[in-house]
Every structure is written in structure tokens, then in C-alpha cells.
Structure 1
Amino acid sequence: MSLIVKAGKAGKRVLKKFMPEQPRHVSYTRRIECVKTSQRVVAMTFDDGPMDLPAVPDKFSGRSLTDILLDTLQEYDAKGTFDVIGDTGENYPDTAGRSGQADWGGVRYDHYPDINQDERGGVVHNERLMHRIIDEGHQVTNHGYRHIIFGKKPFVYGKREYLKSVDEAVEDLTRLHRLLREKYGYEMTMGRPPHYVDKMAGGFSSYDVYDQMEYLYLAASFDGAGWLPITHGSARETMNAEIGAMVEPMRKALEEDPNALCGQIIFQKDGYNMARRTPVAFGLAKQLELLRKYGYRVVTVEELMAESPFADVGREEPGFEKLVRLQKSRGIVYSDNRLRLDQPITWGEIAMLLAPRKEAVQRRVKQMKATGAYQHIHWGAMDWCAEQGILKYAMNPDEASKSLPEGYFDPVRSLTRREVYQAFRG
């Protein structure tokens, strides 16, 4: 395993344990990691494809990796979510990094399926594979046209080029979104940032990008593990170990609790791992066999969210269907996809409930660009509501360049979010 990546993952775990939890806010864009359901249903996502190169080692008569994954899913009556890229062929000049390290496919940029083989990967070069993915009922999501990270990531990708503004990121995603719509008649509704880099220049984040795209943030709650290489042992030993790393954590989780994966999203890779091997070509069938043994259905993320679109509220909630309808057009859910119905509602959250989404998003972005300063996620909605004169607090011209006054977040008497949403009539 790459020592840098391993150290980075360990560091994140330590920081998460000892640092205070970051505040969450009601947001139009929600990070979808899992949903609340008692049903044995799970989703699998495959990043970085499609890939028209054979598996390594090739034991499938030269068939492309994406074909192998599709064949395997079909055999188990499973559906996948393919988080695709457009084309990395524009990401030159560049040089390859070290095999087994995070920059294996390029120091300045990513190249899929590999450096100097860009014409064998991505939507642009793989019309047949894209038709097969869509025609066989799988979901397609947006992983960036050129797979360029949204902001700086100095620890792992210190030499990596990144997108310099929120507008550049929106332009890159729109380019792939338009390609899928115009060539395949397919409308994407979700995206995953390259390498999960969220922080961007100017105080923006990937959530601001997806707000403008009207996307949900596709994340995952269970690592399929095929993307990480094991670097010790013979070629056969390392491949077997990499396949085992895909299967054994899943086996252990299900043995300890057969319901452990209910509503979970599994991360996989439609491409080489960092050592240019494809354990997913062999491990996927073993994972699907294990899930079948425990009675799981494997569906798209979109289908998974039909069970519940929320991480903390399921069908047992009395107002569930109303909440499902409301979240389609209004900002009522926190960025981590939780409703937190028993918390007191705030003025900012009422503003998100009332304001038109497009108005709220555009006003906040415009204000941040004009001032060069971060504005609270509810700023645009509050500004619109104040302009309409429909909330208690009005934003006067002297406050226009400031963050929201503290008074905006006073609880509304003792009303909970549940009570307000149950009473809401539009």
C-alpha cells in the first residue's frame, strides 16, 4: 500500500477522533453515504471509468475491465452506479509518478486508464461501453470531465494542478453533463469530487459547485478496497491479498451483523489500482456472492434512495412521504443527509425552506465573489426572505457585506423542525 495514502488515511482517523465535529447546516447539496432502511439492500459505485483495457492479470480473453464488471453484475442480477470521467487526454504535459503511489498515473494530473493511454478511457472514447452501461439499467454520475481536483491537496498531491475557481469546476462538470445529455439522452443527478477534495479557493467548496449543478454529493460508507495495492510478496500473492482485502472486511461485517450493510453505499474502482492491477475484476463476484448469501439486493444509488432519501429517517416516520416530497424542492436536509427532526428550527433554516433555490444559491455566490469573504450557507436564502419582508429580521444595506448577524439563528420559539415541516403547506 502507498505509505503516503496509508499515512493520510490514518491521520484523518486521528483528527476525526480528537477534533470537534464540524458544524452541519441545512443545505441543498447533501452528501449521500448511506440511507436509513431495514431492508437488505445496498448500492455499489465504480469510479474513473469506463475503461477499455483488459484486466491485469488478464484471465478474460482480453475483454475490457468495464465489460467484465458489467458481465459480473449481470450474472448476479445487480445494478451499479458508474461515476464516470470524460477524457483525461488534455492533461499534458505530464509525467508518471511511482508505481504503487498516489501519483502513479500522473504527477500534475490524473490520466485514466493510465498515462499515455487516455484514448482507452472515459466517456469520450467509449461509446459502446457507455451504451451498454445505460442500456443495462445502471446509473451514471459525474466524476468530472478531466478528473481535476477541485482545490489544493498538499499532503498527498502537493504537485497536482487543481481548479482555480468555483466557475472552473462548474464548467468542467457541465461539459460532461452536456455530453451525457446530448449524446446519450441521459440526465445525471449526482457527482463525486475527484479524490473527495472539497475545499476550494475563495471560501467555496464542492457543495457550492453541486448547488449550481443541482446535484447530490455521491459519497460512500463502505470501502470495496480494490483500489489500494499490496506491495509485498510475489505477483500471485499480492493479487490474492488484494482480492482478500476486498472480500474479508465485508465477510467479517456480515458475520458480526447480517444487517450491517443495509442502506450502505460501497466504493469500487472501474480501473487499475495504484500498482496497475485490477483485483476488482476478480473480487467483485466474490463480494456479490457474499451479498447474495445474506439476502441483499444490489441496486443503483438512485434506487437505494427510493427506500429513503435520508440517513436518519426511514419509512416508520409518520410524516415520511410528506418529507420525501418536500425535500425534492426545498432545503430541509442537513449537508450530511440528516433531517434532525427533533432539533429546534432556526431562522436560517426557515429561510432555506421558503426561498427559491436558484435565488438563494446565486445570491450567496455573488456576495462571496463581490466581497472575497465566506458567507454562511443560509446567507442567500436569508437575503431573499429579508427582501420579501417575510421574516422577522430584515437585512439592511449596512449589513449587506457581513456574515449573518447572530440574531438570525435564534431558535423560533420552541418549535422543532418536525413540527414546522408537518405544518408546512407550500
Structure 2
Amino acid sequence: MPVLSAFTGTPLAALPVSLPADARTAVERAREVHPQWRAIPLTHRLTILRTLGRRLSSQRCGITPAVVHGCGLGPEDAAADHRIATRLVTAYARTADKHLREHRRHFWFRADTRHLSPRPTAPSAVVSYVDAARPLASLVEGALPAMACGSTVITRVDAATVVVALRTASLARKAGLPGRVWQFTAAPGPGEAAQLDAVLAEHADARAPQCCACDGTAATASASGLLVVRHDAAVPPAARAAVGACFARAGRHCAGTTIVAVHDDKWPGFLPAFQRATMRETARMAVHSAIPPPMAAWADAWADTAITAGARPVLGAPGQFAKSTRGTWEPLVLAAPSWRETPFGPRPAGRPPRGPVALVIRYTAWSDVLHLARYTNRHLGIFTRTKAAQLLPQFAALPASDIRLNAAPRSGLLPLQTLRGLG
């Protein structure tokens, strides 16, 4: 499997490809080593994780180039991903220590459950995945909590994320992680990845709780996030947060926002503020994150559909992403009036993509926001002074489950959510 630089196309390495039989073998090896790994005391497992966190923090210069050239993240986005991953390692170790000890104490002191094992029943072989838009964070999010609970992990990687994963695993080995506790299967393309995923789903015991998975294609990626600016919101912080939500990491992370809904009262002030904040961010960024070709084509096609339906470009040139050189694109901002005044139809110009394009929509009725939330993913940001207890129940039947007030949508799961998802 050739590993190429996402910016220059230069060959970086050649690594072996995993076949479906290799995936079955990895699961068998994971089950063989699981009893020994589970028998290791919790304190020792957490010590390994803490040591890995320190090594990951100190080896930034060795990890960041793999994130930049392998996954196509710009220098600032790569540094942010490394910073988030380092914090996650510490947070997982601290939360796992508290959560697992409380779990044992709960079962040990209850008279009617003394016959049960004091240890939580974590699965033996767990499968995790890596998102090229947040490689280190998703790698840590999928593997480390499962290993802290006593599970063994098989991580499926691709040509973009394999170098990052192997360098992180090397640091884990140096931190004291035994062999075969963390294994990898590598796929060169979407077809081979689908075969490996099918085998791993059939033979492994569980899938690690992770945030939205994405391989950069329109067929398998979930829709983008949504940002809402209500009538009682503060415009300057909302405009600054929208820039990062829409264009950070080329907008291709799972919390990347394509649709920004702005109340009619805030429309005159928000759109100019958003344009100015976007231009300042573009001038500050020396190198953007690269856009995968499938994602670029998806963003261009969706923008053309939105313009045909009535949206107007206010910043950037439509149709630029597929033609642009890696890391040299410009953000595209489209503006549209209310759905009730434009021929968008029942869906907002098709499924919104993940990519550096933002459609700012003016709305008057709150029902329009709930309509838009039907076509976005679980990540939602709302800028408002209204109490959460009044707003959150209205999204109960919609995809939005990760809702943040007065902040942009953010990728990832909380450490306690991950540990509880593992049982």
C-alpha cells in the first residue's frame, strides 16, 4: 500500500495491506491475549496510559508530520489535533480510574449482587476506527478507553492514517503496552476497507464507542453539523465561532458546519461580521487543510444546487474546490432567504456536505430551524440567552444529540460516555 503526501503527492512509505483473513487472525490473537491483559491490575494499565500521554506530548515533532502529510491537515489543524489528543489521554486515565473503582465498589457492597464479579464486563476484542480529519483524537478516543477497561483493540486504518497509528502504537509499546493488545488492519481503499469492516463486525465482540465515522466520501459520510443564531444571541462571538465550525480542517470533521441558521433580527449584523471574520481567518492561515477529491466534488455540486435554488455567493468563487491545488482553496459563503421564500423544496438542496462551504439562511419561525435539523447530524450549536431546559426537549426526535449552547459544535465523546458505552 503506497502512502503519499496529501499536499505534494510524494511517496512516503510502502506498507503491507491486510486481507480479510488477516482481520480474522487479528481477532483470534486479541482473544488469546485478553485474559493476560485483563488480569493486569487497573493501576498498572492506567500507568501505561499516563506514560503514553507524556510520550505523546513530548514527541510532537515526530507525530505532527505524519498528521500533516498523511491526513492532509494544515499545520494549525494538526497542532490542534495533537493538543486535543494529549488532553484526552489524561482525561481517559483519570475518568477510568474513578469510574471503574466506583463500579467495583457498587457491586461489592450491594448484598443482592455479591455473587457477581466486582470487575465490569468489558468485551474481549473491540474494533475502533480512525477519522482522517481528526486522526490522533479519534485514534485515542477509540482505543485507549477500551484498553483501560481490560479489552484488546483492533484498529482499522487506511493509507492516510496508517503512519499516524503506527507511530502512536510505537509510543504505546515503549510505555509498556504488551504485544497484541493493540493491533491494526490496513486497507488501501474504500472497497478493501468495507471488506475488512464486514469481517471485523462479524468476528469481533464490540465496536468502540466513537464520534461520527467518516472516510471522506459522500456515500458513507454523515451530514454536517448545524449552527443556530437565535433572536437573543450575541452576534460577534457567534460569527467568530461560525468561522471555526465551517472552515477548520477544511470543514471535513464530523462537527464541521455547512448550514448556519440566523434569525431575521440578527441577519443584518451577522452576515457582514461573518464575512469579516472569515477573511481575517483566511489571511492568517498560511496553509489550509487539504480537501479529499470526493469531498471537493461533493461540495462543488452541492453549492451549484444551492445557487440554482436561490442562494447567492457573498464570499469565494463557486466550483473552485475540485480545481484548486491542495491547501490553496478559499472559503465559500452562500446566503439565502427563508425556505418559505425560495424554491428549495422539502430538503435543503440535498444532503449538506462536509467541506469548506457555508450556507447562511435567514429564518423567522423556530419551526424552520427544526426542519433544517432533520438533515444535519448529531452536532448542533445554538447561540442564545434562552435556558437549555426550554430548547433541548424540542430536538428529542431529531438527529441532534450533541448540543452546545453559545459555542460551536465540537467533535468527540466525553470520557464518561465512552466508558459507559463499553459496559
Give the TM-score of the pair, scaled to structure 1.
Answer: 0.24
Higher RCO (CA-CA < 8 Å; seq separation 6+): 1
Instruction: Give the number of the structure whose residues are more often helix, by fraction.
Output: 2
Instruction: Give the number of the structure whose residues are more often strand, by fraction.
Output: 2
